[in-house]
Structure 1
Amino acid sequence: MAGYRKLGRTSNQRKALLRNQVTALLNNGKIRTTEAKAKEIRRIAEGLIALAVKEKDNYETVTVQAKVARKDKDGKRVKEDGKVVFDTVEKTIKKDNASRLHARRQMLKVLYAVTEIPADAAGRKAATKKVDLVDKLFTEIAPKYADRNGGYTRIVKIGQRKGDAAMEVLIELI
């Protein structure tokens, strides 16, 4: 007997479906799906959140020097003698420790890249922005659940779907 639900799909289709729905759940906070899918999504999502909670403070703050192109008042690069002028700037960055880096890479194996499109700029590619879901897990979601031992999601039954009478549920982050 399998330790998971097959959901009537081949393994690569099932993996893609679950990755897509886990990404949507963590990005939006809640999704509507069937009961069987929700129970599988819960297993994956809670594992990712538990990993983020465990590794949320496992980093060092480091000050580094970076070369940045000097810009004029219009935001264009300043050139002298045909070459771009660079200034040295000190930046403070978070440097992941080894276990947090490993956790980040484990999360990236599951989560898809998300592109957010603002409602007022629909149709313009330049207005889109990438959402870093792994960073969102570490900075927003993990601190919210730091004092909680599991049980990060809730499944609420909505009722039967009209077409095939499958039980529909709302899975959400608590």
Structure 2
Amino acid sequence: MRHGKKFNHLGRTASHRKAMLSNMASSLILHKRLSTTLAKAKALRKYVEPLLTKSKSDTTHSRRTVFAYLQNKESVKELFDEVSVKIANRPGGYTRIIKTGYRLGDNAEMCVIELVDYNEDMLTTTAADASGAKKTRRRGGKKKSEGTAAAEATATAETTEAPVESNDSNEETKNAE
């Protein structure tokens, strides 16, 4: 039974899984984007995000800790020199998983995992959205209050217009007499 075992074993031994995730993390850091299956991408996200957080503090201890996971000098250098500068202000969520469909041979669900701060297309669209119109919200609490306020405003406008129209008609009848 697998009670309390939370992570995906990916059908591999512990040493194979460790080596595979280390290689995938190094490739993700070096190339900023990686195409893989959804299960591997979710496992990689849990593996690489703590390393990205650790890279924010550039100390000898954190470099050695990250190197113990990655076993690749080039990826550690890239991580601490370039990637950590871009993610310095981000509180978490350094990776994005985008589903791309199913693999032709075995129908495995495929996706692209990428570093969020390196996708220029997404960054330009989010910057345009942030400067543009008001964002919509899922909850309707404010909309109901705004809707009732708008309904009250139209009701008051109608009540103020009604006597004015009746006064005009009364004045016309008085003028006619």
The question of a shared fold, defined as TM-score above 0.5 by the shorter chain, is answered with yes
Post-superposition offset of 1:132: 2.4
Q: Which residue of 2 aligns with 1:110?
A: 69
Match of 1:169 among 111, 114, 135: 111
CA distance in 2, matches of 1:135, 1:19: 15
Q: Count how many residue pairs are aligned between Structure 1 and Structure 2.
A: 113
Q: Which residue of 1 aligns with 2:8?
A: 5
Give the TM-score of the pair, scaled to structure 2. 0.61
Q: Which residue of 2 aligns with 1:59?
A: none
- Moved >2 Å (runs of 4+): none
Give the TM-score of the pair, scaled to structure 1. 0.62
List aligned pairs for 1:28-43, cutoff 5 A.
28-43=31-46
Post-superposition offset of 1:43: 1.1
Which has the higher relative contact order, 1 or 2, with Cα contacts under 8 A spaced 6 or more apart?
Answer: 1
Answer with 1 or 2: which has the greater Rg.
Answer: 2
Task: Name the % identity.
Answer: 40
Stretches of structure 2 lacking an aligned partner (at least 5 in a row): 117-177
Match of 2:53 among 50, 54, 69: 50
Post-superposition offset of 1:136: 1.5
Stretches of structure 1 lacking an aligned partner (at least 5 in a row): 57-99, 114-130
Q: Which residue of 2 aligns with 1:139?
A: 81
Asked if 1:151 corresponds to 2:110, the answer is no
Pick the structure with more strand per residue: 1
Pick the structure with more helix per residue: 2
CA distance in 1, matches of 2:97, 2:55: 21
Question: What one-letter code is carried by the residue in structure 2 that aligns with 1:136?
Answer: E
Post-superposition offset of 1:135: 2.1
